[in-house]
Structure 1
Amino acid sequence: MKKQWLLAGMMLLTSVCMAQKKPNIVFIMADDLGLGDLGCYGQQKIKTPHIDKLAAQGMKFNSFYCGTSVCAPSRSSLLTGQHTGHTYVRGNKEIQPEGQEPLGDSVQTFAQLLQQAGYTTGAFGKWGLGMVGTSGAPDRKGFDKFFGYNCQRQSHRYYPTHLWNNDQKVMLDGNDLAHKVTYAPELIQQQALAFIDENKDKPFFLYIPTVLPHAELAGPDDQFYKMYENAFEEKPHKGADYGPNASIGGYQSVEKPRATFAAMVSRMDAQVGEVVARLEKYGLLENTIIIFTSDNGPHREGGADPAFFNSSAGLRGVKRDLYEGGVRTSFIVQWKGIVKAGSTSKFIGAFWDVLPTLTQITQAPRARYTDGISFLPTLLGKGAQKQHDYLYWEFHEDGGRQAVRAGKWKAVRQKVKTDPNGPIELYDLAKDPEEKHNIAAENPSIVKLMDQRMKESHVESPIFPLIGAGK
């Protein structure tokens, strides 16, 4: 069987190499964008023509999942190719005065592997995996160039006091809690486009973890806001202090939160269009893989209204939930001439599959370890696609949660920190995609199997303890 898989992989790789030489990679990841916030996934109220066009010209995945339902561990899962029972960062652990728990020295990212394969690498947006000068800083985890927010707490504000250019602090004069002068997403976008300009003649990996449309709700009074200014009946929003870091990232009151949110999504969509246009300008589209996704489900902070926009696409849950609405994400791949235009995939995959897929495509060195499998056969529409036995997630806030998806079955366990052997909820996604009917009592053998999979998937972390951590 191993020889068959190896032969199939070699044939797939040969077919790619015949058509392409070192394809560029552009990976765009939205922040807190729900599965249903895009037109191509059913959104009716917000216009996203550029991302919809990516789907029309590429492959749209309907059963793809993020690393988990909150920022830092989801990004750690993506970059390391490991699910949250194994990846180094498993929660949003703050480090003062600025930053989060850094990825360890020994942690390997696929950006580092791409560097070894001859790629110039750049990241533009939000990092959140280690402050400048630490083992988890972008320049120590595979990026030649970083520009944006190092700290996700700082990224709560769209008019911040500063950003980071590699290890240099860039002060944004005039911005403070009361004044809005420089809109950071636009400044970051210009740096991302400049990266394409500077590296158009050599293989590059462009990672754009945009902060849009993460709370706070904020943006300039421009064409995007005017598009929606009077489009919706507005829900009153008081605005306020949303958590302990309000002095840095407290969300400000906005008069029309629904219009503001819609404008932020459309602005992000337009920025995707600008990236595609820049690639097209240099004739790079035929040799560039463009991937679009989101780091987790939709948020409710700062006046956001995911119910009004159907941001979870009818699925149960939002950000921080391990139900489908918290972890199932948009995932679109455009690769002109290689990936069939207008295609869809039922492949059940997750962020930890990105690493083995991209390293196979680019012939980069293999990772020391990954929980992922390459979905290159799915992209090419040829060869045998290996499938996951199951997918696993952890969430370390609100008492801790675990979840498993195996085929049609979805299992969720709550309050793991106080009761690691607590009851498991079980859902049949084929019959009940909205996870309304807990059928654990009728399926004890499946529940037992899911319990085993939760136990075998979790390796305890001294930095992010989960099992029995609340005792």
Structure 2
Amino acid sequence: MLRSPSTAQHTGSQRFSVLSCNPARLLAILVGACVQLVGGQPLIAQTDSRPDIVLIVADDLGWGDLGCFGAEDLETPSLDGLAARGQRWTNFYANCTVCSPTRASIMTGCYPDRAGVPGVIRTHASNSWGKLANLPTLPEVLSKAGYQTACVGKWHLGLSPEDHPQSRGFDSFHGFLGDMMDDYYTHRRHDIAYMRKNRTPINPAGHATSLFAGWANQAIDRMADQDQPYFLYLAFNAPHTPIQPPASALARVQQRAPEMPETRAKLVALIEDLDAAIGRVLSNIENRGRDTLIVFVSDNGGQRNVGANNGPLRDGKGSKYEGGLRVPAIACWDGQIPAGSETQAMGVTMDILPTLCEIAGSQAPTGIDGQSLTQWAQHPNAPQDPREVYFVRREGGNAYSGLTIEALRQGDWKLVHNFPTSPFELFNLATDPTESQDLSRKQPAKLRSLQSALRLHIQRGGQVPWQPIPQKPTAQ
């Protein structure tokens, strides 16, 4: 079995705890005040005890690329401190191995292919593989529950006006509409400027990571002055390629570890710069003194050819092996769970929406695929029924040419079809967490059963259109 590192040795200056809510607290949200017995002592919940919610998403951060997840060659005190005061989810999955699909799952609580985003949304229609479906989104649901909502950073769920964050439920947007940046300082993609303040194009100066942290703090300052709770979605581009850390961050790493290969040093510097930026946001939240739930997650595994560390997991970004799908996840909410806890319950990014809805006292949309995780946040060792979770990616480009790769985890069993011309592989993660022993020939019945289930899911996802409807030309 994989053993995840303890957080006991990690400390930090932030004071937070977790993605959890017990039933009595939720009842207080819905019907007023209630009394809950905790260790024999009464806890009085206030009439409106809903926390502010801050969801932070990193881009391509590997499972093993934080100190609190075992990294020994980098320093991430902000996120290590967050984990020490909250909860690490060591068995948490992104819904896909690339950016747009996972973000669609976060916004809708649905499988990406059922949300109309089976692949990466890009600038050019000939190589764009998604159109976010007309489904209720997380900011829409929280807004109806009385939350202020703000989106800062990378969007990557559509470039058209109807797909703009403010058309999908956010009150405000300050960030980058597109996919990856070609340069962290010029903020362009295909020489197109995608930075926006709400709907207005902007051309700010500075490294994108620092800009996003600053804009997040502006949003917090604005919303925290109001009586109602707020939801901030903060999505960084880092540490996605290009691996372009600030020169000062790289110099610190090279001075500390001169023997580190340059490829790894640059990525470490980019991650450490990200951690420092997150630390500035956490400090602002701390100074505000408001009850705040903070969730941190990566959108997929780390990219190995630029030096990412996915721990003992096999492969990385783009792959349906564990290194491409399992991601570091931290959830903190002061006073709601024991500090420094860890759960091995399985979570998936599509679970974020129903979890946050439950905490906010709001009803999650019907028909979604995710499930609330509050039970395991509050009780990390609570039993969990085996889950059946699908991972589908439809993609183009030179490597894929419009083909589909997929995986299915059913309890401890995992079916992997990592390239259309490759055979299906079967693993048992309980006995083989590094996916080194293909059991497809030894377990043909299990192989056929999982293939059949996966086929049905792909058919279900295929019912959802994922390409923009062509517009008829208008008279000039």
Q: CA deviation at 1:54?
A: 0.9
| Structure-to-structure mapping, 1:165-184, within 5 angstroms | 165-172=197-204, 182-184=206-208
Task: Give the Cα separation in 1 of the matches to 2:126 and 2:266.
Answer: 28
In the alignment, is the contact (CA less than 8 A) between 1:99 and 1:130 conserved in 2?
Answer: no
Counterpart position of 1:396: 394
Match of 1:186 among 206, 210, 226: 210
What is aligned with 1:226? 251
Paired position in structure 1 for 2:12: none
User: Where do 5+ consecutive residues of structure 2 fail to align?
Assistant: 1-20, 35-44, 468-476
- Match of residue 223, structure 2, among 184, 194, 199: 199
* Paired residues for 1:70-89 under 5 Å: 70-89=98-117
Contact 1:100 1:131 in 2 (8 A): no
- Identity of aligned pairs, percent? 31
Alignment partners' CA distance in 2, 1:461 and 1:430: 34
Amino acid of the residue matched to residue 216 of structure 1?
A: P
Residues 97 and 300, structure 2, Cα contact 8 Å, conserved in 1 = yes
Taking a change above 3 Å as real, the CA distance of residues 313 and 206 of structure 1, as seen in their structure-2 partners, is same
The structural deviation recorded for 1:74 is 0.9
Q: 1:50·1:270 contact (CA, 8 Å) conserved in 2?
A: yes
| RMSD, aligned α-carbons | 2.6
Distance 1:447 1:160, change over 3 A: same
- TM-score, structure 2 normalization: 0.81
Q: 1:131 to 1:139 in 2, by over 3 A?
A: same
Q: Is the 8 A contact 1:26 1:289 kept in 2?
A: yes
Q: Distance in 2 between matches of 1:395 and 1:110?
A: 22
Classify 1:295/1:316 alpha carbon distance in 2 versus 1 (closer, same or farther; 3 Å): same
- 1:226 maps to a residue whose letter is A
Aligned ranges for residues 127-146 of structure 1 at < 5 Å? 127-133=155-161, 135-146=162-173
Q: 2:312 aligns with which of 311, 314, 318?
A: 314
- Partner residue of 1:14? 27
| Offset from partner CA, 1:180-199 (integer Å, 9 cap, x none) | x6222212211100111111
- Residue 63 and residue 156 in structure 1: after superposition, are their counterparts in 2 closer, same or farther (change >3 A)? farther
Separation of aligned partners in 2, 1:38 and 1:324: 17
Matched residue, 1:410: 414
Distance 1:382 1:157 in 2: 38
Mean Cα displacement is larger for which, 258-267 or 110-119?
A: 258-267
Separation in structure 2 between the aligned mates of residue 351 and residue 372 of structure 1, nearest angstrom: 8
| CA pair 313-109 structure 1, distance change in 2 beyond 3 A | same
Deviations 1:79-132 (A, max 9, x none): 111123422111113234999667446222111100111111111111010115
Deviates most, 101-110 or 26-35: 101-110
Which residue is 1:366 aligned to? 364
Cα separation, partners in 2 of 1:405 and 1:158, compared to 1, 3 Å: farther
CA–CA separation in structure 2 for the residues paired with 1:264 and 1:445 = 46
Match of 1:280 in 2: 286
Secondary structure at the counterpart of residue 171 of structure 1 = coil
**Aligned counterpart for 1:51 among listed residues 79, 99, 116:** 79
Alignment partner, residue 450 of structure 1: 450
CA gap 1:108/1:101 in 2 versus in 1, 3 angstroms: farther
- Mapped to 2, the partners of 1:430 and 1:69 lie a distance apart of 22
CA shift, 1:300, in A, is 4.1
Indicate the larger mover: 38-47 or 361-370: 361-370
> Does the C-alpha gap of structure 1 residues 273 and 154 become closer, same or farther in structure 2, counting only changes over 3 Å?
closer
Letter in 2 for 1:184: A
Q: Match for 2:307: what amino acid?
A: D
Conservation of the 8 A alpha-carbon contact between 2:63 and 2:311: yes
Q: 1:209 to 1:99 in 2, by over 3 A?
A: farther
Counterpart for residue 435 of structure 1: 435
Distance 2:442 2:235 in 1: 42
The CA distance in 1 between the partners of 2:85 and 2:182, in whole Å, is: 32
1:23 to 37, 45, 51: 51
Corresponding position of 1:164: 196
- Change in Cα spacing, 1:155 to 1:281, as seen in structure 2 (3 Å) is farther
Q: Quick check: 1:403–1:411 contact (8 Å CA) kept in 2?
A: yes
String of CA shifts for 1:109-166, please: whole Å, max 9, x gaps.
1111001111111111110101151x22100112111111101144664432541111
Aligned twin of 1:4: none
Number of residue pairs matched by the alignment:
416
Give the direction of change, closer, same or farther, for the CA distance of 1:194–1:100 in structure 2 (3 Å limit): farther
Q: Which amino acid aligns with 1:299?
A: Q
Instruction: Provide the rounded CA distance (Å) in 2 between the counterparts of 1:25 and 1:358.
Output: 8
2:378 maps to 380
Partner SS state of residue 427, structure 1: strand
From 168, 171, 176, the counterpart of 1:149 = 176
2-structure distance, mates of 1:184, 1:198: 21
Q: In the superposition, relative to structure 1, how do residues 115 and 388 fare at CA in structure 2: closer, same or farther (>3 Å)? A: farther
The one-letter code sitting in structure 2 at the alignment partner of 1:258 is: R
Q: Is this contact kept in 2: 1:50–1:273, CA < 8 A?
A: yes
Aligned counterpart, 2:328: 330
- Classify the secondary structure of the residue corresponding to 2:83: helix
Aligned to 1:250: none
Deviates more, 1:319-328 or 1:362-371: 362-371
CA distance in 2, matches of 1:380, 1:313: 27
Give unmatched runs, 5+ long, in structure 1: 1-7, 173-180, 236-255, 466-471
Distance in 2 between the 1:261 and 1:52 partners? 18
Contact between 1:85 and 1:392, CA under 8 Å: does it hold in 2? Answer: no
Where do 1:345-364 residues align within 5 Å? Answer: 345-364=343-362
TM superposition score normalised by structure 1: 0.82
- Aligned counterpart, 1:296: 300
**In 1, Cα distance between the equivalents of 2:98 and 2:370?**
20
Equivalent residue letter for 2:165:
P
What is the rounded CA distance, in whole Å, between the counterparts of 1:336 and 1:266 in structure 2?
A: 25
Render the CA deviation track for 1:382-407: whole Å, top value 9, x for unaligned. 99766453111012233321111122
Q: Secondary structure at the match of 1:229?
A: helix
* Offset at residue 362 of structure 1 (A): 0.6
After TM superposition, give the deviation of residue 380 of structure 1 in Å: 1.9
